[in-house]
Amino acid sequence: MSKVKTAFFCSNCGYESAKWLGKCPACNEWNTFVEEIIAKQDKKDTIGWKSYNSEPLFSKAVSLSEVSATEQKRLLSNDTELNRVLGGGIVKGSIVLVAGEPGIGKSTLFLQNALQMKDIIILYVSGEESEQQIKMRADRLKINNEQFYLLTESSTQTIFQEIKKLKPQLVIVDSVQTLQTNLIESSPGSISQIRECAAEFQRFAKETNTPVFLIGHITKEGSIAGPKILEHMVDTVLQFEGDRHYTYRILRTLKNRFGSTAELGIYEMTGEGMRGVTNPSEILITQKEEQLSGSAIAASMEGLRPLLIEVQALVTQSVYGTPQRTVSGFDLRRLQLLLAVLEKRGGLHFGVKDVFINIAGGLKVEDPSIDLAVICALLSSYEDVPLSQQICFAGEVGLNGEIRAVNRIEQRIAEAEKLGFEKIIVSRYNKKGFDNKKFDIEVVSLSRVDEVYQYLF
């Protein structure tokens, strides 16, 4: 009998070694090597795609000037949020990896999108659920599609035989961690299996010009399960995130070869599936009957989309020796920086106060333009004076207490005007970036934090 071939793989980055190592030479992590069986079969068993297309496939070197630069036509789904996140639609021949927490709604979102695309043949491959389970979910979504085909299989050889017969125009695989190829004898979900299965689907997508969506799991640390090379192999990586205590879900782009990585899609989880939220600003701002201190509205940007979000602050007298600094949806180090600016430039004693910051709606915001709203919410809670509900803020705060200019100021002002705000406070250095006469909203330009304090209080 032939000897069983094994190799050691780093469970963090996928580095392959002939023997066990304590420290991975590629990612410098310790104790990450696991042994896997890698008895590869002959290449004769691999599936080729020569006969899939009508025109024969062959590769040759071409001059860059000979390549036509026409805009490639994309497949448009009925979901405008997904189209935006992908950069304008699904690129033919692309391979997209979608990852997220268990139960967040990845399978529901892509089953719903597949059922809504009624003009193309779609194959939905599931290695996790039975046909009856998927049928139950489809019945809940109340969408019927005669062009939608279902395959419950985890062997890639069987999947590709079905693909050859059906010739679908879109393939969705749920999930890549359940796939298994006969070329490698390790168990499904192992590093070598994930890498080989993803490579087979990548080869299929590129050679047949068919888009493929791979749904993936994430680890308890929040990173995508499997080797890091999985993210390098695919064209686009989407992260589906959200708090299961909120009904809102966010689809972020981590990598996109065909569009911007700053885009964001917002969904609301309903009993009949995922509903795209076209105007998230109205949801993220709480409608209050009475005015309360410690609340300010920030005009931020997520990708190319303006968002108005509510920043809540609570400043109380500290009862411990060390004052508390607690944040939700905001960077803690950024908060400490802003408090230092208020201490030094405003003469306000936050060193003896507990400070809590919350971004309403469960969002995580990284846009520096919400600095001004955070400072105004802190000042409002500190003085216990409510801010007007008709005013919003857009500005970054520097270490010298100056209010710095932010990008795309016109879009922020237009969004604030659309939602009925009467005033927006921006940086004086932003004055060149917009024409004041174009807007009905009053634009107040200030240059320092102490000026904002005197203006508001």
52 is a domain residue:
no
Last residue of a domain, one of 278, 294, 313: 278
CA distance 25 to 35: 16
68 is a domain residue:
no
Q: How confident is the model at residue 44 (pLDDT cuts 50, 70, 90)?
A: very low
Q: How many CB atoms lie within 10 A of CB 42?
A: 7
Q: How many CA atoms lie within 13 A of 261 on its CB side?
A: 8
241 is a domain residue:
yes
Does residue 109 carry a pLDDT above 50?
yes
Q: How confident is the model at residue 13 (pLDDT cuts 50, 70, 90)?
A: confident
143 is a domain residue:
yes
Does residue 317 carry a pLDDT above 70?
yes
Per residue in 356-372, pLDDT (tens digit) is: 999 987 778 888 999 99
Is 107 among the annotated ligand-binding positions? yes
| CB-CB contact of 214 with 234 (8 Å) | yes
pLDDT the model gives residue 47: 65
295 & 162 share domain: no
Residue 2's alpha-carbon distances to 5, 39, 296, in angstroms, are: 9, 10, 71
Min mean pLDDT across 56-70, 88-102, 301-315 is at: 56-70
Is 44 among the annotated ligand-binding positions? no
Of residues 331 and 277, the one with the higher pLDDT is: 331
CA distance 216 to 200: 16
Range of the domain at 15: 6-37
Is 222 among the annotated ligand-binding positions? no
309 & 341 share domain: yes
Is 121 among the annotated ligand-binding positions? no
61 is a domain residue:
no
pLDDT the model gives residue 356: 95
145 & 25 share domain: no
DSSP 3-state assignment of 226? coil
Highest mean pLDDT among 14-23, 67-76, 332-341: 332-341
pLDDT the model gives residue 122: 93
Does residue 185 carry a pLDDT above 90?
no
Per residue in 124-149, pLDDT (tens digit) is: 999 888 999 999 988 988 888 888 99
Is 103 among the annotated ligand-binding positions? yes
Does residue 78 carry a pLDDT above 80?
yes
| Average pLDDT rounded to a whole number, residues 28-51 | 70
Does residue 438 carry a pLDDT above 50?
yes
Per residue in 203-241, pLDDT (tens digit) is: 999 989 999 999 998 887 777 887 888 888 899 999 988
Q: Are strands 325-328 and 353-359 parallel, antiparallel or unpaired?
A: parallel
Last residue of a domain, one of 278, 298, 317: 278
Q: Cis omega (within 30 of 0) on the bond before 281?
A: no
pLDDT the model gives residue 41: 56
pLDDT the model gives residue 14: 79
359 & 326 share domain: yes
| Average pLDDT rounded to a whole number, residues 113-132 | 91
CA distance 384 to 132: 57
Does residue 42 carry a pLDDT above 60?
no
65 is a domain residue:
no
267 & 142 share domain: yes
Q: How many residues does the chain have?
A: 457
345 & 357 share domain: yes
186 & 298 share domain: no
274 & 364 share domain: no
Is 56 among the annotated ligand-binding positions? no
274 & 286 share domain: no
pLDDT the model gives residue 429: 87
Per residue in 335-393, pLDDT (tens digit) is: 999 999 999 888 888 888 999 999 987 778 888 999 999 999 999 999 999 998 889 99
121 is a domain residue:
yes
| CB-CB contact of 178 with 172 (8 Å) | no
CA distance 113 to 275: 11
Q: How confident is the model at residue 39 (pLDDT cuts 50, 70, 90)?
A: low
Greatest distance between any 2 Cα atoms in the chain: 86
CA distance 432 to 268: 38
Terminal alpha carbon distance of the chain: 86
Q: Domain holding 404: CATH number?
A: 3.30.230.10
Of all residues in the chain, what percent are helix, strand and coil, respectively (each to 5)? 30, 30, 45
Does residue 48 carry a pLDDT above 80?
no
345 & 423 share domain: yes
Last residue of a domain, one of 278, 296, 327: 278
pLDDT the model gives residue 280: 73
CA distance 184 to 6: 10
Does residue 56 carry a pLDDT above 60?
no
Is 403 among the annotated ligand-binding positions? no
How many structural domains is the chain composed of? 3
57 is a domain residue:
no
| Average pLDDT rounded to a whole number, residues 404-425 | 88
265 & 356 share domain: no
271 & 293 share domain: no
Q: Domain holding 226: CATH number?
A: 3.40.50.300
CA distance 237 to 225: 13
Structure tokens at 327: 């944040």
Is 395 among the annotated ligand-binding positions? no
